[in-house]
């Protein structure tokens, strides 16, 4: 397996990732992995054996410790803050918990107009000051080794959890509210858009070099429904953040929505493995970058299949500015960390950047 550092690397990880996010030239392809902070790392499991999830998230020193683990072990160019997409709920007056192996749970879900009206739009620095403190600490500890990446759940994915009360395959209650009571839906989406915008603005002010909007359940929608009930809100967030820091849109299973997603105006679109990366790139707006798109299950097939798939991605992107190498979705817990370490070195040593 290859080493993780190469003589041809002249940029810092931070500079490399930020340049790619702005579609500027780089010395080699920057790389990070969704859900890299946790899941497959034994040092993360040891930390979690001592502290519950929300304690790690709400204690800046612990959150930064978890954030740095994959930077140290894999040599990635992006350090995604240890946090969760649900944290903005802290300021909204909606209690939630994160259950191991289950995910987010909300005991009193949002179901009526009165529930939506009660949602608080708070100041992000007050409501989630611990996230901003963690980012400030991360920025200091990280130096230029890697870019500090902030993130939030997108309004639609947050609405899915808020209405359903927990994770689900189809989010039937959330979709029923959307179709059956569009006025309440739009009120909810408007409020969530304001919360998410404030939250991401505060993260950028606290030192995030780029921010990613996770719209994990977007693939449940058809093209027309997306355009009517979700797209305008996403577009509003990216318009508001324009010029502050590069933005990344994330979703999976959304090949049918790619044109609409591109039109919301993020600097990069994260795509999954359902389309070859060059075919997906053709569907984006001119000058828009791409993040992706290795199938995370491939990594469990061992190093040889992983290397071949990574080479195929690098061949298809061919050194074109604006590519950040990543998985199409999060790392699976069973993944061997040694494969991720080798993959990072392999992408950095990319055949296309001799
Ligand atoms: O990339 C990273 O590792 C940084 C931190 C991060 C977490 N969650 C930590 C976490 C990020 C970026 C997320 C995003 C997130 N959280 C998403 C969007 C990404 C996606 O997969 O589509 C979603 C949908 C959530 C909600 C959520 N939180 C789920 C579905 C779960 C899974 C429960 C489980 O045990 O797998 C969580 C919990 C969670 N968030 C864990 C971590 C490290 C595991 C909890 C633990 O350590 O016990």
Residue 236: CATH number of its domain = 3.20.20.210
Whole-model pTM? Answer: 0.96
Name which residue sits closest to atom 48 of ligand 1, judged by CA: 100
Residue 32 lies in a domain: yes
Examine residue 1 and state whether it is found in any structural domain, yes or no: no
Report the Cα 244 to chain-centroid distance in Å: 18
Distance CA 123, CA 199 (A): 8
Report DSSP state, residue 332.
P
The residue whose C-alpha atom lies closest to atom 45 belonging to ligand 1 is: 100
Q: Give a yes or no: residue 4 inside a domain.
A: no
How far does Cα 182 stand from its chain's mean position? 28
Q: Is residue 6 part of a domain?
A: no
Whether 173 contacts 163, CB under 8 Å: yes
Candidate of 71, 103, 199 to mutate for ligand 1, largest count of ligand atoms within 8 Å of Cβ: 103
Atom of ligand 1 nearest to the CA of 57: 9
- Residue 117 pLDDT > 50: yes
Domains of the chain: total? 1
Chain-centroid distance, C-alpha 69:
17
pLDDT digits (tens, 9 = 90+) for 206-247: 999 999 999 999 999 999 999 999 999 999 999 999 999 999
Does the residue 50 lie in any domain?
yes
Average predicted confidence (pLDDT) for the chain = 95
Give just the sign of the alpha carbon dihedral 311, 40, 210, 230: positive
168 C-alpha to ligand 1 centroid (Å) = 15
Give per-residue pLDDT as tens, 22-51.
999 999 999 999 999 887 899 999 999 999
Cα(275) to centroid(ligand 1), Å = 24
Q: Ligand 1 centroid vs 331 CA: distance in angstroms?
A: 10
Q: Which atom of ligand 1 is nearest to the CA of 48?
A: 47
Question: Is residue 340 a part of any domain in this protein?
Answer: yes
> pLDDT-based confidence at 2, cuts 50/70/90?
very low
Q: What are 50-96's pLDDT values in tens digits? A: 999 999 999 999 999 999 999 999 999 999 999 999 999 999 999 99
Q: Report the candidate in 254, 214, 252, 217 with the shortest Cα–Cα distance to residue 234.
A: 214
Q: Is residue 165 part of a domain?
A: yes
**In the predicted structure, residue 334 carries a pLDDT above the cut 80:** yes
Query: What is the distance in A from the centroid of ligand 1 to the CA of 34?
Result: 9
pLDDT at 354 over 60: no
Say if CB 119 and CB 193 are below 8 A apart: no
In a domain, 209, yes or no: yes
Compute the distance from residue 269 Cα to the ligand 1 centre, in Å: 20
CA of 83 from ligand 1 middle (Å) equals: 8
CA-nearest residue, atom 27 of ligand 1: 103
Using CB distances shorter than 6 Å, the residues near ligand 1 are 34-39, 48, 53, 80, 82-85, 98, 100-101, 103-104, 151, 167, 214, 216, 330
C-alpha distances (whole Å) from 218 to each of 171, 176, 232, 246 are 11, 15, 14, 21
For the CA of 252, the closest atom of ligand 1 is 22
> What percentage of the chain reaches a pLDDT higher than 90?
95
Dist. CA 117–CA 266, nearest whole Å: 29
Q: Which residue range is the domain that position 207 belongs to?
A: 13-348
Catalytic residues: 35, 39, 48, 84, 161
Nearest CA to ligand 1 atom 37: 103
Task: Give the pairing of strands 103-105 and 97-99.
Answer: antiparallel
* Rounded to 5°, angle at Cα 176 from 172 and 182: 145
């Amino acid at each position: 397996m290859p080493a993780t550092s190469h003589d041809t690397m002249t940029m810092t990880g931070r500079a490399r990732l930020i340049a790619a996010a702005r579609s500027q030239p780089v010395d080699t392809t920057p790389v990070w992995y969704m859900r890299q902070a946790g899941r497959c790392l034994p040092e993360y499991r040891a930390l979690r054996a001592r502290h519950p999830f929300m304690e790690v998230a709400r204690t800046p020193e612990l959150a930064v410790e978890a954030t740095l683990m994959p930077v140290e072990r894999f040599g990635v160019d992006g350090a995604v803050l240890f946090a969760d997409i649900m944290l903005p709920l802290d300021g909204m007056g909606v209690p939630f918990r994160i259950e191991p192996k289950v995910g987010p749970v909300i005991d009193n879900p949002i179901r009526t107009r009165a529930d939506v009206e009660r949602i608080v739009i708070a100041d992000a620095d007050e409501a989630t000051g611990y996230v901003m403190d963690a980012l400030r600490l991360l920025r200091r500890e990280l130096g230029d080794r890697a870019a500090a990446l902030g993130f939030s759940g997108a309004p639609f994915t947050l609405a899915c959890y808020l209405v359903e009360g927990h994770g689900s395959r189809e989010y039937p209650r959330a979709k029923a509210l959307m179709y059956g009571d569009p006025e309440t839906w739009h009120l909810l989406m408007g409020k969530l858009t304001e919360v998410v915008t404030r939250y991401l603005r505060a993260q950028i002010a606290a030192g995030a070099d780029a921010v990613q909007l996770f719209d994990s359940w977007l693939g449940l929608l058809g093209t027309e429904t997306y355009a009517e009930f979700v797209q305008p809100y996403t577009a509003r967030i990216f318009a508001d953040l324009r010029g502050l820091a590069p933005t990344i849109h994330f979703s999976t299973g959304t090949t049918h929505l790619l044109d609409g997603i591109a039109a919301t105006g993020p600097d990069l679109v994260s795509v999954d493995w359902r389309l070859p990366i060059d075919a997906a790139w053709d569907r984006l707006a001119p000058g828009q970058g791409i993040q992706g798109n290795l199938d995370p299950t491939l990594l469990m097939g061992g190093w040889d299949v992983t290397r071949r798939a990574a080479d195929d991605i690098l061949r298809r992107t061919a050194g074109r500015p604006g590519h950040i190498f990543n998985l199409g979705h999060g790392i699976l817990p069973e993944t061997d960390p040694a494969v991720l370490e080798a993959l990072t070195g392999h992408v950095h040593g990319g055949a296309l950047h001799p």
